[in-house]
Amino acid sequence: MKHANIVWFEIPVKSLDRASTFYSQLLGITINRIKLYQTEYGIFDKHKTAIGGSLKVDADKVGKGATLFFFVNILSDALDIAVACGGKIILEKTLLKQVDSHGKTVLAHNLIDNQVGYYAEILDSEGNQISIYSHY
């Protein structure tokens, strides 16, 4: 992955059924449903959309726009830079993990790039929320 590339997007939705139908019909693609950490997602096929992304059931964020995930080489360095440049950390560095069918938390290759990775959520200097993602 290249530093600064957009590697994932999340579109918040109230109704996964309704949103899946909308985007499937609009874009002519299949939206695959999964549940990760008690949250339902509709996954876009990154082989058809150039980058991966999802519909995420999150009623609180509906109407506030999609969240873009940018790849950075070292997450902790990027967080330091964000704060130094007037940004704010909303969610500290967090390991992406999943819950298996038995309810156990597992480290798994994630949907972004099929590797173990970390992410954080920040507000940029203008108040826009973005996420940053890294393997380190």
DSSP string, 82-121: HHHTT-EEEEEEEE--EE-TTS-EE----TTTSS--EEEE
- Mean pLDDT, rounded, for 73-89: 96
Which pLDDT value is given to residue 107? 76
Which are the contacts of 9, defined by CB distance < 8 A and separation ≥ 6?
A: 51, 52, 53, 54, 66, 67, 68, 69
The band of 50, judged by pLDDT with boundaries at 50, 70 and 90, is confident
Structure tokens at 120: 């954080």
Residue 2 lies in a domain: no
Structure tokens at 70: 């940018």
Report d(CA 130, CA 3) in Å as an integer. 15
Verify that 70 and 102 share a domain, yes or no: yes
The count of structural domains within the chain is 2
Instruction: Provide the domain limits for residue 131.
Output: 66-136
